[in-house]
Amino acid sequence: QVQLVESGGGLVQAGGSLRLSCAASGRTLSSYFVGWFRQTPGKEREFVAAIKWSSDTSYYADSVKGRFTISRDNAKNTVYLQMNSLKPEDTAVYYCAAGRWLRVVTTRTEYDYWGQGTQVTVSS
């Protein structure tokens, strides 16, 4: 059993930056994949980025590659998503998720645990 809590969302102008945090409790994430997904009303939840904790291997959606960076902190059992050069189309509720055995890191149904989400709004 893993509990995930996201934080760091807010309102920012286009071109600005935000740093999201996903703090985990219940279990260490050392053997897990952790992903970030986002969702806008009327649309499906889409993959943003993921990290394999054990090898520190990162995966990114093409839409955020070069702008977003996912990272981890072993001591805090926390995953971060640094978002730079934000665009209005990045506006969404951002969720973090964790799964131990994943076949496809970009598929949301592969993840077992989800946080409550944090709102990111980018104005122009």
pLDDT tens per residue, range 17-35: 999 999 999 999 999 999 9
Ordered DSSP codes for the chain: --EEEEE--EEEETT--EEEEEEEESS--TT-EEEEEEE-TTS--EEEEEEETTTTEEEE-TTTTTTEEEEEETTTTEEEEEE-S--GGG-EEEEEEEESS-S-TT-GGG--EE---EEEEEE-
Average pLDDT over residues 83-111: 96
- CA 114 to chain CA centroid, nearest Å: 10
* pLDDT value for 82: 98
Average pLDDT over residues 75-94: 97
pLDDT tens per residue, range 2-11: 999 999 999 9
* pLDDT value for 65: 98
